[in-house]
Amino acid sequence: MSLAKTRIAARLLAVAALAALTAGCFQPMYAERTDGTPALREKLMGVEIPPVDKPNASREARIGVEIRNALAFKLYGTATGVPPTHRLVLRFYTSRSSLMIDPNTALPTGENVGIDAQYNLIEIASNKSVMTGSTFARVSYDIPGSYQRFSRSRAFRDAEDRAAQEIAENIQTRLASFFVAGT
């Protein structure tokens, strides 16, 4: 056996040994527990999401409903009936900016929608904050024609919905981490 083949075999053996040593450390986040502790799914189903405090019939109220519905679906799925153990209070702010301007018409051809969200997880039993955090989403969209108002409005709304989905995904991931690791 040549020296090069011996080195490759030694490296492969070292990688296999390290993999065997760390195999017991890995634990799937959504795995069912056999020791009687509640699984992550049950912990997430105990999070209550009250309505976001925004003026009725405003654009931000619609975004608040979109974030809340997306987050509820990510946390609960279609399950119901679990008494809440935590309450998640959300606050967010939106922004809109033009990215590109058509030099002939001076109208925007590309815009950016932004959502900055803060959240606070409160334990209901003690009414104490156990976790706070913030997240953001920036989504760009193209305006198909400078004089097509409906298409611009629809593209803007779709971008808001995509940003709301991203915010909900970020918060759900952070909550899952909190309930698994406790930090």
Q: Residue 183 has what pLDDT?
A: 72
Fold of 38-181: Double Stranded RNA Binding Domain (3.30.160)
Outline where the chain has alpha helix (H): 3-22, 40-45, 59-76, 149-181
Which portions of the chain are predicted below pLDDT 50?
none
In this prediction the pTM is: 0.79
Domains of the chain by residue range: 38-181
Tens digit of each residue's pLDDT (9 = 90 or more) over 83-98: 899 999 999 999 998 8
Structure tokens at 165: 């989905």
Q: Residue 1 has what pLDDT?
A: 58
Q: Residue 24 has what pLDDT?
A: 64
Q: Residue 33 has what pLDDT?
A: 61
d(CA 151, CA 130): 43
